[in-house]
A and B are shown apart, each in its own frame.
Chain A
Amino acid sequence: MTPVLHYIALKTGRALFVVWAAFTVTFVLLFVLPANPVDLLFDPAELNAIPPEVKAQVADNYGFNEPVVLQYLDRLGHALTGDFGNSVQSGKPVVGAVLDVLPSTLALAAGALALAVLIAFGIALVATATRRAWLRNLVETLPSGAVSVPVFLSGVLMLQIFSFQLGWFPSFGDQGWRSLVLPLVTLAIPVAGPIAQLLVRSFAGEFHSGYVTTSWAKGATRGRIIVGDVLRNAALPALTIAGVTFGNLIAGAVITETVFARKGVGRMTQTAINTLDLPLVAGIVVLVAVSFAVINLAVDLIFPVLDPRLRATLTAGNPG
């Protein structure tokens, strides 16, 4: 096997492992650890009022009486064929229900990620390019500010200003691009924070590195140095962070979708947990894990394209 194929196989294997681990951990948490998983299916307030025959019937339906290993293998086998059972609440297949809302959440998350990366690059570029100390200081305080504002607060604030006061964007729903603007911005702000912090630091670091001095000495101008030398080198570490942050986005989507009353995986998760819809929760966790793994796999595969040094270790096999 060539080193490149080996690398791709390794990274793909890692992504598959993440998905498998998410499935297994979910299974253990939902179906093994609870003393009586059947109880989780009922409202705690009414639990005592339910006759034991009904419980036994339900347990039998869900296969809780089988040995744990058999239950696990059974669920895993079905999951591999795309069958996560039916939702307790709606009775419809879990996969269909999740896939129904997943595109809307993915659009929100991907859009927010793109916007966050844009904001972060903007902040880093201004901080590096400006020669005015006050502007640089101002811009450099933005990331920590962005991180410290909770989504529910910024979301409500934005609704208040841009929707209720100015009436520029609708306050809820998912009709057209206009309804996407406010959720996008709300979700992007806290995610942009850490990426911007990292970028500002790596921009500054790269800007004072040896090859930049070489470029100055070549007769390059400030703009050429930032675009031609600093940008690509500084972007490399940010790429990793952006991939990892995608997980935060899914978590952030829960609140954003609630605040803006959008349909999506976030809101579905919330409903599923509130109504103790275990199969649905399990299905959501695994599908979210899949999208997380896919994004990070993409980052891993893009890296060698951007960094010739990494490419070299792949083909030449240098140690570490």
Chain B
Amino acid sequence: MTSPPVNAETPASTEAPPVSDPLLRIRGLAVDYRTGREWTPAVRGVDLHVEPGEFVSLVGESGSGKTTLIQGALGLLPAAARIRSGSIAYSDVDVTGWNDRRMALVRGNYVGFIPQDPNTSLNPVKRVGQQVIEAVRFNRPRGTPAARYREAALESLRTAGLTDTERVFHQYPHELSGGMKQRALIAIALAGRPRIIVADEPTSALDVTVQKRILDHLVRLRAELGIGILLVTHDLGIALERSDRILVMRRGEIVEEGPVERVVAGATSEYTRRLLDAAPSRHAGRLTADSAVRPQPRPGAVALRAEGLSKTYRLRNRAVLRALDTADLTVREGTTHAIVGESGAGKSTLAGILAGFVAADHGTVHLGERRLTGLPRKRLRELRKDLQFVFQNPFTSLDPRFTVRRLIAEPLRAFGLPAGDRVTELLAAVALDGSYLDRLPSQLSGGQRQRVAIARALALAPRVLILDEAVSALDVSVQAQILRLLVDLQAERGLSYVFVTHDLGVVRLIADDVTVMRSGAVVETGPAEQILTAPRHEYTRQLLDAVPGALV
């Protein structure tokens, strides 16, 4: 263990503080952001502390100020932000307002940081070993022999749970998988032998099974090294499952704080209760429509059928990537068929082929009675009326210069149909009123954007909607609203959905049938009930085990 940061300029801090002090104590911290000439508060008077060996989670949705809070704690606030009041102290050493030069003594040395996206958080042109060595070197006294740095870096990589450390040491970041990169970043965070680790959404860019391993490892490190951990996450399930104590943040304030058991047993804040309710795993089964009576689908009628779909991509050195390997899929009319799998499972390729965006090498797709594959472009265009697509990211799938009116009318115009009242009607169908007609996408929230995208997809009154990770970019509470909307629309209009997702929690809420994919092949397919409660395949079981929130 290194001693806490000692700074010659502040005589008061030269004495080592007693062990009982919290590793990190934030008192009444308020941070403002400059917007034009005004200062908008992002964090309003937050108190937070992490004790030695404690695992604390900070939970909040996007815009809650959780990231700003930890940026403030690390002294990494962007230039447009300022601390208005409050204090930050590491083991009773007040570091509020320290400049970068002084904070450099604290960072790495005393507090380690694990960033959100492992794919962008390592320098792409430096070897991993070099990057870990830097983290060691910056935090050791000068004059340590170079061989010792290397030794310490390798040890750090081992502690982070990497097995083949000698090889990883000489590799570049792009040669590692996402999970290995995150372990390398954990090694970097540990290299300075910190007493507390701050992790900002460390697993949200990773697959569930990898997420589980990384979180397991963090918990183990806490026990083995006795360090404190502050985990920032949007996922209440993760927070409840892993931590000793949680804090729920909303609009810059802490609205709930307490030990996990207490929060689960009885959350004091209304917001926390809503978050708990919105968590997908809270629901026993599929959402049911509360509006209209569900039109009884003709039994056995099939909306979309894919048979023996294959797609290979040829790589440069004559290697081939089997993106999709003889996949079958049957979507019953008026139901939702979910396709689940981790990255590289081939689910997006499958969705692309179903929608006619990607040409399959082999196999056929039938929309009702009509064959879709191998159609000339013009005929395919006609079929588009019956088959529409909703994309993952509502922030990029809407043209930023089009108004909502124009966005929704676009498919109608493309087929030469009159827009008129139809746009207002569609907007009403996704529960937005007429006041949104002349807004631009930038004036809408993420959930509102996705509603507009759904309205646009419904414009031509299709029979089948393909939703590619359509709720993945949204906050949990917004996610719940959009799922409910989809279920209602399905009931009213007898729509069939192909719902592509990596999130098994969401599947539970919306799917009638589930197909599990892995490395381009279908692992298992069947009714949602059976797949989720009695999976036959080992891989499906692993996926289900890795879903956080069993406690919720």
Instruction: Name A's B-contacting residues (CB within 8 A).
Output: 3, 209-211, 213-222, 224, 228-229, 232-233, 306-309, 312-313, 316-319
Contact = CB atoms under 8 A, between A and B. Distances in A.
A209 B138 CA distance: 20
A228 B321 CA distance: 36
A309 B259 CA distance: 46
Given A316-B317, A317-B316, 13 more contacts: A210-B116, A210-B121, A213-B115, A214-B113, A215-B123, A215-B134, A217-B112, A218-B135, A218-B191, A229-B126, A233-B123, A306-B125, A309-B172
Central interface residue in B76, B107, B131, B316, by most chain A CB within 10 Å: B316
A210 B117 contact: yes
A214 B124 contact: no
B432 to A, nearest CB: 34
Interface stretch (B97-105, B302-310, B380-388): B97-105
B138 A218 contact: yes
Given A213-B76, A220-B134, A221-B104, A3 B316 contact: yes
B125 A233 contact: yes
Interface in B115-159: 115-117, 120-126, 131, 134-135, 138-139
Nearest to B184: A214
A217 B317 contact: no
19 contacts: A209-B120, A213-B115, A213-B121, A215-B123, A215-B134, A216-B74, A217-B107, A217-B189, A219-B106, A220-B134, A221-B101, A221-B104, A232-B125, A233-B125, A308-B124, A309-B124, A309-B174, A313-B316, A318-B316
B121 A214 contact: yes
Contacts of B189: 217
Chain A to chain B: the 4 pairs with minimum beta-carbon distance, closest first: A317-B317, A219-B108, A317-B316, A217-B113
Nearest to B110: A219
A233 B188 contact: no
A213 B121 CA distance: 7
Contacts of B284: none
B315 interface: yes
Nearest to A306: B125
Contacts of A213: 76, 113, 115, 121
A92 to B, nearest CB: 49
B107 A319 contact: no
Contacts of A319: 313-316, 321
B103 to A, nearest CB: 8
B82 to A, nearest CB: 14
B319 interface: yes
A214 B185 contact: yes
B317 A219 contact: no
Contacts of A316: 317
Central interface residue in A214, A224, A317, by most chain B CB within 10 Å: A214
B76 A229 contact: no
B68 interface: no
A221 B121 contact: no
Contacts of B433: none
Contacts of A215: 123, 134
A58 to B, nearest CB: 54
Contact of A217 (B100, B108, B120): B108
B241 interface: no
Given A222-B100, A317-B316, A312 B113 contact: no
A210 B172 contact: no
A317 B317 CA distance: 5
B172 A308 contact: yes
B211 interface: no
B134 A317 contact: no
Contacts of B123: 211, 214-215, 229, 233
B321 A312 contact: no
B72 interface: no
A210 B314 CA distance: 32
Central interface residue in A3, A215, A317, by most chain B CB within 10 Å: A215
A229 B125 CA distance: 9
A218 B188 contact: yes
Contacts of A214: 113, 115, 121-123, 131, 185, 188
B450 interface: no
B104 A220 contact: yes
A306 B104 CA distance: 29
A220 B175 CA distance: 25
A216 B76 contact: yes
Contacts of A210: 115-117, 120-121
A151 B108 CA distance: 51
Interface in B184-238: 185, 188-189, 191-192
Contacts of B113: 213-214, 217
B496 interface: no
A219 B188 CA distance: 11
A211 B319 contact: no
B109 interface: yes
Given A211-B124, A213-B76, A221 B316 contact: no
Contacts of B138: 218-220, 224
A282 B232 CA distance: 67
Contacts of B174: 308-309, 312
A319 B105 CA distance: 43
A210 B76 CA distance: 12
B265 to A, nearest CB: 36
A75 to B, nearest CB: 38
A120 B361 CA distance: 50
A122 B67 CA distance: 34
Nearest to B114: A217
A86 to B, nearest CB: 48
Contacts of A209: 120
Given A228-B134, A317-B317, A307 B188 contact: no
A316 B174 CA distance: 12
Contacts of A217: 74, 76, 107-108, 111-113, 115, 188-189
B139 to A, nearest CB: 5
A7 B189 CA distance: 38
A219 B125 contact: no
Interface string B36-58: 00000000000000000000000
A219 B121 contact: no
Nearest to A214: B121
A3 to B, nearest CB: 6
Given A214-B185, A308-B124, A219 B316 contact: no
Nearest to B71: A213
A210 B116 CA distance: 9
A309 B120 CA distance: 13
Contacts of B104: 219-221
A217 B319 CA distance: 40
Contacts of B106: 219
Contacts of B116: 210
A218 B192 contact: yes
